[in-house]
Amino acid sequence: MNTTTPSLTAQQIIENIQKTKGFYVMVKWKSTQLPKAAFKEHKLENRTSAICRAGIQYQNLQEVKEAVANGERGEVQSLPWGEWKKYPYTIEHKNKEYYRLYPTKSRNQKPNVKYFVDNKEVDKEEYASYLTPSKAKELWEPKEKLCFNIATENILGTEEFEGDLFDEDVNKH
């Protein structure tokens, strides 16, 4: 599925995300990594497309409610960094805007990640060889996140999701 939408302006992409309050949208974004010292002249980038939700409140996630009720965590506090610019969508930190997104919990919808070294697509193994040992470990053993933040400038596009996303995992959230 091609998630790059060249006909959309940056404002239209933002509007697409903001109108998805609690619903699902395919979002494509890029991120960069710093290579280990031996490869410092190389540019490392990954491009991810995933079905996400926006416009929901962290404290209302079932996992968070259960953890609070079970004494596994305290009540949800204010943001650890930055300030809400448009709650619950965007955070501003050091004059930079970030979108708060929530990954789908569906087993049927895993993020699609492509890896690039100097703008050339490579496989995950080659990409990992350019990373520091700690970053390579994060690549191979990612921690599950309830939410994540993406710099607005790194969002490449959006698409409305068409397909059978819903299964028993998603309906719990």
Q: Give the Cα separation of 27 and 47 in Å (integer).
A: 11
Q: Confirm whether 2 is domain-assigned.
A: no
Q: Which residues contact 131 (CB under 8 A, 6 or more apart)?
A: 33, 35, 36, 44, 139
3 belongs to a structural domain:
no
Q: What is the pLDDT of residues 105-163, one digit of tens each?
A: 776 778 999 999 999 999 999 999 999 999 999 999 998 889 999 999 999 888 754 44
The count of domains in the chain is 1
Q: Please tell me which residue, 64 or 11, carries the higher pLDDT value.
A: 64
What is the rounded (10 degree) CA torsion for 141, 143, 148, 151? -30
Is 39 among the domain residues? yes
Could you tell me which residues come within 8 angstroms of residue 134 by beta carbon, excluding any fewer than 6 positions away?
none
Q: Show the domain range for 148.
A: 10-172
Q: What's the pTM value of the predicted model, to 2 decimals?
A: 0.77
Contact status, residue 109 vs residue 165, Cβ threshold 8 Å = yes
Instruction: Report the alpha-carbon distance of residue 127 to residue 35 in Å, rounded.
Output: 9
